[in-house]
Amino acid sequence: MTGGKTKTNTVAPGTRFNGTSTLYDAELTYKWKPSNQKSLIVQTEYLFRNQTGDLLNFATLADDSLKRSQDGWYLQALYQLGRWRVGARYDMLSVFADKYDLSGRKVNFGSSPYRLTGALEFNPTEFSRFRLQYNYDQSVGSDKVNHEILLQFILAIGAHGAHPF
């Protein structure tokens, strides 16, 4: 578990936060690799943020006190068989903590946003990867769902640990 305190400046365009922001993190990773052709990685992480300070809006010149706490987590798994990998991920915000007080007024952002992701990858070489990914994304803060499909080609060139240049 890790934690840290920082003094934050810009929060969103047109605003400035002056105060203390503390972030706590706990993570766990399990790796299983009986051969070069087969592997499984399972990861999970939990984060908690607590902020206390003042929020200045440049447009209205309003200086409001801010007390905010929020948390989130994710769980993902990636299975490899030969040059193919298949993975899934679930992430969610506001699991246990979702408090946003602006000058004593409670602000409600709606239900807990979440996203489900599935991915299929093919690795023709150690330097390249094709990935097809689908996201079922309900992170907007309403009942609106975004269906996202991504096709990626990833190419690694240059110096790396196995072959320094």
Domain locations along the chain: 2-155
Predicted TM-score of the model (pTM): 0.73
Task: Please determine, for residue 1, whether its predicted confidence score (pLDDT) is greater than 70.
Answer: no
What is the pLDDT, as a whole number, of residue 7?
47
Higher pLDDT, 62 or 46: 46
Dihedral of alpha carbons 95, 98, 87, 149, sign: positive
Q: pLDDT per residue over 112-158, tens digit each?
A: 888 999 999 999 998 899 999 999 998 765 678 889 999 999 998 87
Nearest CA-CA partner of 117 in 95, 142, 139, 96:
139
Q: pLDDT per residue over 36-59, tens digit each?
A: 899 999 999 999 988 888 877 766
Task: Please determine, for residue 89, whether its predicted confidence score (pLDDT) is greater than 50.
Answer: yes
Of 1-10, 41-50, 75-84, 100-109, the least confident:
1-10
Contact predicate 135/116, CB 8 Å? yes
Task: Please determine, for residue 17, whether its predicted confidence score (pLDDT) is greater than 60.
Answer: yes
